[in-house]
Amino acid sequence: MGYLEPGEYVAYGLTAETPDDWVAMASALIEAHCRRPSLLVTAYVERVRLVAGNRTMRLSYGPVSAVTGVRVRYGQARRGEIQASWLSQVTMAFGLPGSWSVLDLSLVDLDVSTGEVTLGWHVLGLDYNEVEVSYNAGVSVVPVGVKVACAQVVKNAQAMPALNVSRTRMDTMQMQYFSGSLLDESVKSLLRPYVATKVA
């Protein structure tokens, strides 16, 4: 799926005869740079280990539109995290370490601007060791900045001979490419809000 429609080619500085394959190639490069399958709304599932006493995590993909489900797991404290309080010892004795529990979404706080999720407290006061968040992230309508970036990548590819190939050797079937030439700094700055913060 291309981030530019054929009717938008001229408006973004491309010729009307630009092959759709060039836009598809530019869109694929944008998705690879952003480390995500699509910039449009997509469902993600992310699992993160939590540090003792921490109930907050940041989601990798944004902008986050909705959290659809949260599962948490609590267990035995790891080395260096053992608390000597009587409450922690009682909860460790009666808890079921390693079991996953579905957390009510009313106990989950989502900051849409940062993609930060804060979990509610466990009934027995146990610390969660691991959390699995199902959520939807992406844009429903392709923003103008992404369309400009897509058009710029196509222009950069058309301006380079042999599509960014710097050297070829036929005897070893080898091609060397200029690294990152199609995605210049102006394109990267337009795509910065959509780049995944960590690789899953």
Model confidence at 186: pLDDT above 50: yes
For the entire predicted model, the pTM comes to: 0.75
Looking at the structure, tell me whether residues 49 and 126 fall in a common domain.
Answer: yes
Looking at the structure, tell me whether residues 22 and 54 fall in a common domain.
Answer: no
Looking at the structure, tell me whether residues 98 and 163 fall in a common domain.
Answer: no
Q: How far is 8 from 25, CA to CA, in rounded Å?
A: 16
Residue 118, strand partner residues: 56, 109
- Could you read off the pLDDT of 136-185 as tens digits, one per residue? 999 999 999 999 999 999 988 887 655 555 555 556 555 455 545 678 88
CA-to-CA dists, residue 181 to 93, 157, 174, angstroms: 59, 9, 19
The answer to the question of residue 176 being in a domain is yes
Give me 22's structure tokens.
């060039």
Looking at the structure, tell me whether residues 104 and 173 fall in a common domain.
Answer: no
Looking at the structure, tell me whether residues 58 and 70 fall in a common domain.
Answer: yes
Domain that holds residue 13: 6-39+140-194
Task: Count up the domains in the chain and report the number.
Answer: 2
